[in-house]
Amino acid sequence: MIFDLIKKRRSVFPPQYIEKELSKSDLERILEAANWAPTHKKTEPWRFKVLQGKSKESLGAFLAGKYAEIDPLPKQIKVKKLQANASQSAAVIAICMQRDLKESLPEWEEVAAVAMAVQNMWLCCTELGIGCYWSSPGIIKYMDEFFDMAEGEKCLGFLYMGYFDGDVPVSTRNPISEKTVWLD
């Protein structure tokens, strides 16, 4: 049931991943789910770059190097984490947004559409037993130095993905009644 799946969805972080490849067919299914997200004016602004193998290792090296370059006193733990997140993942998907060049709608609507596409992906990962985590480090603004980006395209973060052992953490939410006002 969809409600159970929504409640089960959690961030599962790269250190929890095991060494097991993700099949291309599962990645394609996950991406196809993203493609069915709501999109105002049908701009379909989501763009994805799938990294596996050496390309994800190159991403980790780029992120760690860029962080060290822009921070005069880089925190070594952060540098190592940026590299490790990529190497510990079976796949990394760069989450990008292609801005409507006509700017026919507000940018936030396109960002929201991309976020809904990611939620679709996350729910599919949950269903397939794949852990994932959306990371948006400040250095994503430099991703045009790593990827070929189209005019108006920008990176919004990375979906780190991998199989994992163990249980998904239990979580709670405050009651929706505390967040809802009913008007008659």
pLDDT of 64-113, one tens digit each?
999 988 887 768 888 899 999 999 999 999 999 999 999 999 999 999 99
How high is the pLDDT of residue 150? 97
Between the alpha carbon of residue 184 and those of residues 99, 105, 178, the distances in Å are 39, 31, 18
In a domain, 144, yes or no: yes
47 assigned binding-site residue: no
> Quick check: helix, strand or coil at residue 102?
coil
Residue 176 scores a pLDDT above 90 = yes
> Quick check: helix, strand or coil at residue 122?
helix
In a domain, 171, yes or no: no
171 assigned binding-site residue: no
Average pLDDT over residues 136-143: 94
How high is the pLDDT of residue 74? 67
- Structural domain including 78 reads 14-165
Contact 56, 89 (CB under 8 A): yes
In a domain, 172, yes or no: no
Output the domain CATH number for residue 21.
Answer: 3.40.109.10
In a domain, 74, yes or no: yes
In a domain, 180, yes or no: no
Rounded Cα distance between 167 and 25, Å, is 25
Using CB atoms within 10 A of its CB, is residue 151 exposed (0-12), middle (13-18) or buried (19+)? exposed
87 assigned binding-site residue: no
> Quick check: helix, strand or coil at residue 70?
helix
What is the value of pTM for the model shown?
A: 0.94
The pair of three-digit structure tokens given for residue 165, joined into one six-digit string: 């052992």
10 assigned binding-site residue: yes
In a domain, 179, yes or no: no
Angle between helices 54-70 and 76-88 (to 10 degrees): 170
9 assigned binding-site residue: yes
Q: DSSP character for 16?
A: G
How high is the pLDDT of residue 73? 76
Rounded to 5 degrees, φ, ψ at 28 are -65, -40
58 assigned binding-site residue: no
Rounded Cα distance between 109 and 115, Å, is 10
Rounded Cα distance between 181 and 123, Å, is 28
In a domain, 94, yes or no: yes
Residue 167 scores a pLDDT above 90 = no
Number of domains in the chain: 1
How many residues are listed for the chain in this entry? Answer: 184
The pair of three-digit structure tokens given for residue 81, joined into one six-digit string: 């984490």
40 assigned binding-site residue: yes
In a domain, 153, yes or no: yes
For the chain, the average pLDDT equals 95
